[in-house]
Amino acid sequence: MSNISALHQSLVERLKQQGLIRTPRVETAFRAVPRHLFLPDVPLKKVYKDEAIVTKRLDGQAVSSSSQPAVMAIMLEQLDLQPGDRVLEIGAGTGYNAALMAHIVGETGQVIAIDIDEDIVEDARQHLAKAGFEQVKVVCTDGGFGYPSAAPYDRIILTVAAWDIAIAWQEQLKPQGRLVLPLTLKDNVQITVAFESADSYLVSISTSNCGFMKLRGAFAEPQEAEDTISIHLNKLLMQVENILLLPLPIQLQLKLYNLIKFRRSSLKGLRIRVYPQDTDYIKTADEFVIVKRWTRLVLDWQ
């Protein structure tokens, strides 16, 4: 086994041992698709660490990356791809995630990856071609509109954080389809959620903590909302840290935030239902309602 192959398989083995890779299809894809082909200018030891790698910055701010493999594994397991599925990915990145999905859906399936920047799209195309996945279609367009010309999709996945769930994503999903995305709840707290349709609304079937760069373009988070939630979260954490006189680890911050905002210290048992924003919903005492631009999120714990 070559040094590259050893590094590659060692990373996959760690993800499997941690329980993040759980199914044979996801494991086979991770073992078959080398990450270094999508990060040609990054040292191999860094490529095969379980960490996100920034690939583009604008005005000093990171806007694109190769996601952390652990988070990719979690989301691919949430997505539950099947051979023959038609998949839309919003946020092409390096093309690595699209290649993993293309391996799973096979020759009878289709993967379409879209990104808002032409240079990211062109790089992803080159990486995919080098890795032998020319069948993946990579398109430059605003992800908030989805890609209607190839809809409907069995699966839609976002690899950028969304402040709300765009109407186009719901309309372009098949009735029995699944939507997986990093969703910002409140005060900049993100979770990755798998949604399926239930009558006239979406309902979550799994959730996990995450951290992603934010969706850009016409459907980006409103600036005033971003400023407000950042101020609220920072004030909250500063108050607690001043009492304790030490900075809190990020996981503890998230648990504390959940406890104060939702009276829960973890996501275990969390259910999210997504209704149209104008739905006349009367919440119960155990529910939390978050009103967004297009949707109304109802959170409860089962």
**201-209 β-sheet, strand order:** 137-140, 110-115, 86-90, 153-158, 173-184, 190-198, 201-209, 270-276, 295-301, 288-291
Q: What would the DSSP string read from start to end of 188-204?
A: T-EEEEEEEEETTEEEE
Question: Rounded distance, CA 122 to CA 142, Å?
Answer: 15
8, 15 Cβ separation under 8 angstroms: no
Question: Rounded distance, CA 261 to CA 255, Å?
Answer: 10
103, 32 Cβ separation under 8 angstroms: yes
Tokens of 174: 């098949």
Question: Rounded distance, CA 215 to CA 227, Å?
Answer: 16
239, 91 Cβ separation under 8 angstroms: no
DSSP 95: S
Question: Rounded distance, CA 31 to CA 107, Å?
Answer: 18
> How buried is residue 242: exposed, middle or buried, by Cβ count under 10 Å (0-12/13-18/19+)?
exposed
Cβ-based neighbour number of residue 265 at 10 Å: 14
Active-site annotation, residues:
64
> How buried is residue 6: exposed, middle or buried, by Cβ count under 10 Å (0-12/13-18/19+)?
exposed
Question: Where are the alpha helices (H) located in 41-95, listed in sequence order?
Answer: 44-47, 69-79
Sign of CA dihedral 225, 161, 56, 234: positive
